[in-house]
Amino acid sequence: MQFGERIITLMAALVLVLQIAVVAQRWIVTHIRIFAIQSFLLAMIAATIAWFNHAPHIYIAAALTLVVKVILVPIFLERLVVRMDIREEIKPIINVPLSVVIAGGLTLLGYVVAESFYKQNEPGLGHNELAVAISLFLIGFFTMINRRKALTQVLALLSLENGLFLAAISLTYGMPLIVELGILFDVLVAAMVLGILVYRIRETFESMDVSRLRRLRG
């Protein structure tokens, strides 16, 4: 179990590093791939927990996460990017070095919040993973405000869900299976719906820049 915990902590740390890398980089395709890798790591964390705790229903959640978030959604989004032929993010609202430092600050905030949650002798992982989950959540929020391309906002929304998945796993070893099913289904449909919307925005506005969506006011 020690070994398992170590591996899980390692993977959670990798997820966090990847999330900070997302804040720093500009290419939408890279963003999609980093999301896929993060989801893969999360699925592996779930599978590791299932292995060490002999809880087979978590395997199903891990497998579903793998199928939906690692394969289906990234493929769909990448195809969308190719069709729309926009690869690069425009300048974010807060410049990159400052955003990265803010992301670091949000991670610390995540740790502080996770500390208040953690109780000994409960099922669930240590507060490291919960902190990473809350940081994912907060950094996803921040990315959503900071970036102006519609597709990046969609990816930020999806990484919010990732953070919640990790939080669920670390607090209670995941939610009941049917809830996980429902959530994953919703994520898939949401990705598709938002993807279609982004495509239409691009067609109508000739750009994915959401700061152009300003006609309705008052």
Partner 1 sequence: MMERIIESVAQLFLLLVLAPLVTGVIRTLKARLQTRRGPSILQPYRDLLKLFGKGMVIPETASWIFAATPWVVFFSTILAGLMIPMVAADAPLGLFGGVLAVIYLLGLGRFFLALSGLDTGSSFGGIGSSREMTISALAEPAMMLAIFTVAIGAGSTGLTQIAGAAIGQSWRFLAPAQMFAFAALALVLIAETGRIPVDNPATHLELTMIHEAMILEYSGPYLALVEWAASIKQLVLMTLLINCFWPVGLQPTWFGFSALIGIGWLLAKMLFLSCAIVLLETVNAKMRLFRVPELLAVAFTLGSLALVSTFLF
Partner 2 sequence: MLLLALLLIPVATAAASFLVRRRKEMEAANLAGFGLVFLIAIALAAQVLARGTVSLANSFFYADALSALVILLTALVALVCATYSIGYLQDDQQSGELGDDPSGKEQLAQLRMYYTLTPLFVFSMMFMAVANNLGVMWAAIEATTLVSVFLVTFYGKVTSLEAAWKYAIIGGVGLSMALFGTLVAYYAGHRLAGSDALAELNWSVLAQHAQLLDKTSMRLAFVLILMGYGTKAGLAPMHTWKPDAYSEAPVPSAAILSSAMLNCALYGLIRFYILTSRSLGPEYPGRLLLLFGLLSMGISVPFILVQKNYRRLLAYHTIDHAGIMVTALGLGGALGTLGLMLHMTFHTIAKSLLFLCAGNVRQYFKTDLFSEIKGSVIRVMPLTGIVFLMAMLAIIGMPPFSLFQSEFLIVRAAFDGGHLLTGVLFILFGTGVFAGALLHVGGMILGTRGNTPVAPHRPWRDGSLLTLAAALVIIGFWVPAPLLELIRGAARVVNGK
Sites of contact with partner 2 (CB under 8 A): 57, 116-117, 137, 141, 144, 150, 153, 157, 160-161, 164, 167-168, 171-172, 175-179, 182-183, 185-186, 189-190, 193-194, 197, 200-201, 204-205, 210, 213-216, 218
Please, what is the minimum distance in Å from the beta carbon of residue 47 to partner 2? 18
Cβ burial of 129 (10 Å; 0-12, 13-18, 19+) is buried
13/192 with CB nearer partner 1 = 13
Binding partner of residue 20 among partner 1, partner 2, none, CB cut-off 5 to 8 Å per kind: partner 1
Query: Which pair of tokens denotes residue 84?
Result: 């729309």
Binding partner of residue 7 among partner 1, partner 2, none, CB cut-off 5 to 8 Å per kind: partner 1
Stretch that binds partner 1, among 56-64, 102-110, 141-149, 156-164 (CB under 8 A): 102-110
Looking up tokens 């500009």, which residue turns up? 26
User: Which of 71, 75, 108, 177 touches partner 1 (CB under 8 A)?
Assistant: 108
Return the number of other C-beta atoms located less than 10 Å from residue 28's C-beta. Answer: 23
Binding partner of residue 10 among partner 2, partner 1, none, CB cut-off 5 to 8 Å per kind: partner 1
Is residue 150 within 8 Å of residue 201, measured between CB atoms?
yes
Q: How far is CA 168 from CA 81, 105, 160, 171, in A?
A: 31, 23, 12, 5
Query: Which pair of tokens denotes residue 48?
Result: 């590791």
Per CB under 8 A, 41 contacts partner 1: no
If you write DSSP's letter for every residue of 44-66 in order, what string do you get? HHHHHHHHHHT-HHHHHHHHHHI
Stretch that binds partner 1, among 58-66, 108-116, 156-164, 166-174 (CB under 8 A): 108-116
Q: How far apart are CA 90 and CA 149, in angstroms?
A: 7
Dihedral sign from CA coordinates of 136, 142, 145, 151: negative
Per CB under 8 A, 20 contacts partner 1: yes
Residues that bind partner 1 (CB under 8 A): 6-7, 9-10, 12-14, 16-17, 20-21, 24, 96-98, 100-101, 103-104, 107-108, 111, 115, 128, 131
